[in-house]
A and B are shown apart, each in its own frame.
Chain A
């Protein structure tokens, strides 16, 4: 299995609080991605990174920010959490174009 660790695995928080999810990889892959999975929508890309300090938006980026200061870590931040951001969040890594992405086990986030 690809060395991807997501933390925390579960989190419950209140509306309006900041939340940061961490993705850590030991594979030294260049590309890292954050997705959310919701019923009826599959996985939707939030943000991705193509190198240290190089990030870009995905299809559902509103309300989220990311940072990548080291190759191995990719952080997803919800500045002010809303109930619509209750979801399961997955991090993925890959070596690039036309290569499969490998996923972490997810973070289940509940915002009350």
Chain B
């Protein structure tokens, strides 16, 4: 049972345009969400996070939006750059025993074309 889903395996955008990556979740207990970027042969790198008490968080070109009623979050990258080409994972966790365990989506491969 996939609690965190990224339904688009891939996305292609033009350099300078906006990239929007989507993620849906099923467990209403999730209260902390993260996005990671992963290049080939490297480990995932933390990008940005959001707590369930917020609906938006920005960090430079990256903005994460959370819609709790729809159980949906999205990552916006503006403007997109060729170096953003990577696999993007969303992840979620909830306060249970203070373990910090994360549940990951399957990933979306973003290609930014020059």
Contact = CB atoms under 8 A, between A and B. Distances in A.
A50 interface: yes
Given A42-B89, A90-B43, A105-B41, A100 B101 contact: no
Contacts of B104: 35, 42-44
Contacts of A31: 99-100
A65 interface: no
A31 B93 CA distance: 14
Contacts, number: 68
A94 B41 contact: no
Contact of B44 (A44, A56, A58, A103): A103
B65 interface: no
Interface residues of A, number: 28
Contacts of B99: 31, 48, 50, 56, 96-97
B95 A100 contact: no
A87 to B, nearest CB: 14
B85 interface: no
Contact of A100 (B31, B46, B89, B103): B46
B45 interface: yes
Given A40-B106, A43-B89, A96 B43 contact: no
Central interface residue in A90, A96, A100, A103, by most chain B CB within 10 Å: A100
B97 to A, nearest CB: 8
A43 B107 CA distance: 9
Interface of B: 4, 6, 31-32, 34, 36, 41-46, 49, 51, 89, 91, 93, 95, 98-107
The 3 closest A-B pairs by CB, nearest first: A103-B43, A42-B104, A100-B46
Interface of A: 4, 31, 33, 35, 40-45, 48, 50, 56, 58, 90, 92, 94, 96-106
